[in-house]
Amino acid sequence: MHSARGARVAVIGAGIVGVCAAYMLRKRGAEVTLIDRDEPGQGCSYGNSGAISPGSVAPLAMPGILATVPRMLSDPHSPLYLPWTYLPWAVPWLLRFLASAGSDRVADSVGKLAALHAGAVAAHEALAHEVGVPELLVQRGHLHVYPDEQAASKDAAGWRLRLECGYTVEHLDRAGIVALEPSIGQRYRAGRFLPDHATIVNPLRYVQAIVAAFTAQGGQLQRADVSALEPQTGGLWGVRTSHSSPSFNHVVVAAGAWSRRLLDPLGIRLALESQRGYHVQFEPAPHTISRTVVLADRKVFVAPMEQGLRVGGTVEIGGLRRPPDMRRAGLLRQIACETFPEMGRVDSSPWMGHRPCMPDSVPVIGPAAGRPGLWLAVGHGHLGLTDSVNTGRRIADQLMGLETSAV
């Protein structure tokens, strides 16, 4: 493959995935324009829980999921919610999701996720240093807590996979949990500790720092809504916005949950669905925890952010247009206050973001088949922060001709 040094590349989407791809491409010598309709980092990457979780190699659709999903959907307090009016739109994706829970498909996804996650903490550590914000990466591990060992055993497959992939997992009793995080409520008596995992304690500031380094190195940042990608003669791509349609040698689509709007008209049909997630961001208060804590029975992440405690989670399959249902964030606040009673006195603000999810949890990274010059960095689901640097490297290495493997 020839070297693309000096190639004109447009990256569509300045979420964490797009900014990492743009930065890595610029570092390798491409002329890069990063385009977003908003300020960088205002999409899903704004409000995530900051967890760098390379051990999360189990896809969401695991064997046995068929038995749990209907029960979850009928429970208003469950971490999974599907408004009935959206059901007809969700069915095709849900069928693919269930189909990917077969053991062969799961084994394939685990292999791909493990390869993508590998070295994620070190990659983020290096990048945070490089772009001048080393303080944003805190490496104190992740603590997953359960009411008891019986509850923990429901996640046994996921823990076994982490061990098989070489991650350290320490089993804790109540005393072990309290030794790490004294303020965790009595509900939690069994734990699993991942000492090698890390947290970005301000995901938005991280995106902004990467963009600042990108522009300082000559990258262009453009604010525009891209309405279409147009193949042109000579192998070029036109990027149509409301005010112009410049040409590029390559286009990288990293538009998160909105990527289908650009890809469908080109005949590239990705099974991409938004899994809407929520957080509550508490006002600054004396920190109750010092590392990421996962309330595993409720699928809730609690993170000690620079701005205060952030409590994130829930999956709502409700599409891109429906307004947020902030009752979901209210549930997160309730769970946080049950676990850390002192948070009951602290104000919080809610947020909703669109996780870009593939049915098998495996993002699509690499050249678009049959469309030379078009590249995809889409579908990072629940782990887009974790995988952003490795995705950026893969795209940049492949596009610049430094590596030929397709993902």
Ligand X SMILES: Cc1cc2nc3c(=O)[nH]c(=O)nc-3n(C[C@H](O)[C@H](O)[C@H](O)COP(=O)(O)OP(=O)(O)OC[C@H]3O[C@@H](n4cnc5c(N)ncnc54)[C@H](O)[C@@H]3O)c2cc1C
Positions 212 through 241 that interact with ligand X (CB under 6 A)? 225-226
Separation CA 178–CA 172 (nearest Å): 9
Q: Which range in 36-44, 213-221, 335-343, 396-404 contacts ligand X by CB under 6 A?
A: 36-44
Both tokens of residue 285?
């208060």
Name the helix (H) or strand (E) containing 201.
Answer: none
Q: Which residue has the tokens 């038995």?
A: 67
* 385 near ligand X, rule: CB under 6 A: yes
* 393 near ligand X, rule: CB under 6 A: no
Task: Say how many residues touch ligand X, by CB under 6 A.
Answer: 43
Which residue spans within 246-347 are E strands per DSSP? Answer: 247-248, 250-253, 273-282, 292-295, 300-305, 308-316
For residue 342, with 0-12 CB atoms within 10 Å meaning exposed, 13-18 middle and 19 or more buried, which class applies?
Answer: exposed
Least distance CB 111 / ligand X (angstroms): 19
Residues with Cβ within 8 Å of residue 78, at least 6 apart in sequence: 71, 72
Least distance CB 149 / ligand X (angstroms): 25
Q: Which range in 42-50, 282-290, 333-341, 398-406 contacts ligand X by CB under 6 A?
A: 42-50
**Options 5, 38, 168, 320; binder of ligand X; rule CB under 6 A:** 38
**Options 18, 55, 59, 79; binder of ligand X; rule CB under 6 A:** 18
Nearer to ligand X, 53 or 390 (CB): 53
* 254 near ligand X, rule: CB under 6 A: yes
* 392 near ligand X, rule: CB under 6 A: no
Residues with Cβ within 8 Å of residue 370, at least 6 apart in sequence: none
User: Please, what is the end-to-end C-alpha distance for the chain in angstroms?
Assistant: 16
Separation CA 13–CA 35 (nearest Å): 6
Least distance CB 325 / ligand X (angstroms): 14
Least distance CB 365 / ligand X (angstroms): 11
Phi, psi of 287 (to 5 degrees): -65, 135
Least distance CB 183 / ligand X (angstroms): 20
Which long-range contacts (C-beta less than 8 Å, at least 24 apart) are formed by 75-79?
77/331, 79/298, 79/299, 79/300, 79/313, 79/314, 79/315
* 277 near ligand X, rule: CB under 6 A: yes
* 55 near ligand X, rule: CB under 6 A: no
* 79 near ligand X, rule: CB under 6 A: no
Contact between 290 and 181 (Cβ < 8 Å)? yes
**Options 7, 11, 32, 44; binder of ligand X; rule CB under 6 A:** 44
Separation CA 209–CA 390 (nearest Å): 17
Binding mask 338-377 for ligand X (x = CB under 6 A): ---------------x-xx---------------------
Both tokens of residue 396?
């940049």
Q: Is 376 helix (H, G, I), strand (E, B) or coil?
A: strand
Positions 122 through 181 that interact with ligand X (CB under 6 A)? none
Q: Is 324 helix (H, G, I), strand (E, B) or coil?
A: coil
Least distance CB 278 / ligand X (angstroms): 6
Nearer to ligand X, 14 or 177 (CB): 14
Name the helix (H) or strand (E) containing 13.
Answer: none
* 201 near ligand X, rule: CB under 6 A: no
Least distance CB 104 / ligand X (angstroms): 26
Nearer to ligand X, 7 or 383 (CB): 383
Least distance CB 28 / ligand X (angstroms): 20
* 37 near ligand X, rule: CB under 6 A: yes
Residues with Cβ within 8 Å of residue 328, at least 6 apart in sequence: 81, 278, 314, 316, 352
Least distance CB 272 / ligand X (angstroms): 10
* 304 near ligand X, rule: CB under 6 A: no
C-alpha closest to that of 385 among 167, 197, 222: 197
* 48 near ligand X, rule: CB under 6 A: yes
Q: What is the binding site for ligand X (CB under 6 A)?
A: 12-18, 35-38, 42-45, 47-51, 53, 225-226, 254-256, 258, 262, 277-279, 301, 312, 353, 355-356, 380-386
